[in-house]
Structure 1
Amino acid sequence: MARFDRLIPPGGEGKITLSVNLAGYRGKVTKGATVYCNDPQNPRVSLALSAKVVPLIDVRPGDTVVFRGPAAQIKPQAVELESSKGPMHIVRVENGLEKVVRTRVETLAEGKRYRVVLENLAEQGSYSGYVRLLTDHPQKPEVLLSVRGMVEGPIGIRPTSLLVGKTSGTPEIRVGRVLVVHHGGTAFRITKLDYDAQLLEVTAKPQEGLSAYVLDVAAKLEAVPLGTRKLTALKVQTDLRPEDRLEVQVVVVHQ
């Protein structure tokens, strides 16, 4: 935001006041502004502003926590909070994801520095939400942590989205490949592949040890008018986890 004197008499002085919203910034910040005037010799002047932003409560490594991968392999993550101005205590934790995320607070330096440990509890599925840390700091009464999880069960499938078919500018027809794997190395069988047979052709190839399958996914372009795309899904069922429906979103393109 800028405030300035619009009219400056010959030989006089004017004032330009610039204010910068530094919410969400940390560390060194550089901003710029350009002043335009009717001075024929200096019609444009550039101004530079620089600052070092020290948050009242520093959150390291950041205020976003992401859990991703097989449930058995996801490790707890820690976030450290340190007050840069005055004493601070974490007085309460409000966990909006208490069914899938466990939290605990560890004191590293009383009134100064704390560690918040977050642990994934979900066995499978995706979630997102917030953990709110309430403090007694008079200028920073709360710190909000954004938490997301993308958790695979014992049998995982990747990728979870594919693009197959023919795209403009490329002569090749694009074929997709999907890996279905048991993270513990246990042998299993694919008992059902559910997909639109008018749009897709899917071939399952068991890998050595039968703890994984590769699915080759090809488009049947005769069912997709030129210049269009269609969205469909490939669903996989196994004998070890028949209740789970592993799913891949497939975009069939014909351009």
Structure 2
Amino acid sequence: MARDAGAFPEPKDEGPDLRFESYSWNFGSVYQGDAQEYAFKCRNVGGKDLVISKVETSCGDCLVPLARTETIPPGGEGAISVLLNTTGQTRALGKKLYVASNDPITPVVPLDVVGYVKPLKLVTSPRAVSFGEHRRSETAHELIYIPSLPEEKIEVKSVSSDSPFVDVAFAETKDYVRPGYIVMVGLKPGGAPLGKLEGTITIVSDHPRNPKAEVPVTAAIKGDIDLDRNSFFFGLLKKGDQRKSTITISTVGGEPLRIDKMDNPADYIELDLQPITDGKAYLLTATLNGKAPTGNIKQEIVIHTNNDDQAEIRVPVYAYVEGS
């Protein structure tokens, strides 16, 4: 069937027409911190000069335009060079390059940059293990996850702890969502002394760049005896005034708590101990009497118990007495 030529617009002079040899650069798999350069080759298949006016990226730090052919005549070729910097990037990376020109049909051409950035060192989650405050008589466990993904396959060879109070073991996970290894970290009950516990877990793998990772472990180990406050605080008072302050002393242990004696260094502090639940909890009342000297008062009451771990409990005393 014949067509009416008048139904179609008259052809116009061809303008510039920007075409790229490839609209995507897959840089493959690289390590974090590696840098690579690439040139997107292009040509002008139009009938007028092509002018590339601007090149922008979706990532100002990781993808940097280096050079470009600014004017390409009809039938000519050119290139746009970029530098990929993977510092700070992790895992799957997808960025874009935007090329602006006087091409009337496609004034801005997006170019894709894709690939995978492998971590420079062995990854652990978390990077530090904190048990927080924990009783010496109780057990505690935490887990460390070490990913081993298809793009960054690694094998854990060994794990060790430099603390005799921290046990470690590892196993490969069966979870396809989070493939890799799990390190089990445990506090030994009754082992660590009271106070701050610090240690380091060392994980050795076949990571090609940095096969060893060190994970800090911390805990605050406390005994079975608790105080509801850590000091006697009387605040500000005038010379000759009296004021009371109380502390509840209790135990969660199986052995009955006995308070054998209390060391009181000052005759202006009076102590009174009363059982709340015999063998379990006591109320200790400290009274600052009228003999207290003026000025800043800092003293310490020492409570002696039958608990080997907390045989002496030291309780500070604070007050400020103004002159009459």
Equivalent pairs, count: 207
Q: Does 1:115 align with 2:182?
A: yes
**How many angstroms does 1:225 deviate by?**
3.9
Structure 2: give runs of 5+ residues left out of the alignment.
Answer: 1-59, 63-86, 91-116
Partner of 1:144: 214
SS at match of 2:137: helix
Separation in 1 of the partners of 2:202 and 2:219? Answer: 17
TM-score after normalising by structure 2: 0.50
Give the residue type in structure 2 aligned to 1:96.
D
Change (3 A) 1:149 1:219: farther
**How many angstroms does 1:214 deviate by?**
2.8
RMSD of aligned alpha carbons = 4.3
Structure 1 contact 166–173 (Cα < 8 Å) conserved? no
Change (3 A) 1:105 1:173: farther
**How many angstroms does 1:191 deviate by?**
0.8
Separation in 1 of the partners of 2:289 and 2:210? Answer: 58
**How many angstroms does 1:131 deviate by?**
1.6
TM-score after normalising by structure 1: 0.61
Q: Which of 76, 79, 92 is the aligned partner of 2:144?
A: 79
Q: Which of 72, 92, 104 is the aligned partner of 2:158?
A: 92
Q: Does 1:175 align with 2:249?
A: no
Structure 1 contact 234–248 (Cα < 8 Å) conserved? yes
Larger radius of gyration: 2
Separation in 1 of the partners of 2:132 and 2:200? Answer: 13
Q: Does 1:214 align with 2:283?
A: yes
Q: Which of 262, 276, 291 is the aligned partner of 1:193?
A: 262
Partner of 2:302: 235
Deviations 1:128-168 (A, max 9, x none): 22222222222443333222222334x41335732512159
Structure 2 contact 159–201 (Cα < 8 Å) conserved? yes
Structure 1: give runs of 5+ residues left out of the alignment.
Answer: 1-16, 26-52
Percent identity for Structure 1 against Structure 2: 15
Give the residue type in structure 1 aligned to 2:230.
S
Structure 1 contact 159–248 (Cα < 8 Å) conserved? no
**How many angstroms does 1:197 deviate by?**
3.1
Deviations 1:159-210 (A, max 9, x none): 5732512159xxx9683524231423x4332112234234644332212243
Structure 2 contact 244–286 (Cα < 8 Å) conserved? no
Separation in 2 of the partners of 1:58 and 1:138? Answer: 13
Structure 1 contact 199–223 (Cα < 8 Å) conserved? yes
**How many angstroms does 1:236 deviate by?**
2.5
Partner of 1:252: 318
SS at match of 2:152: coil
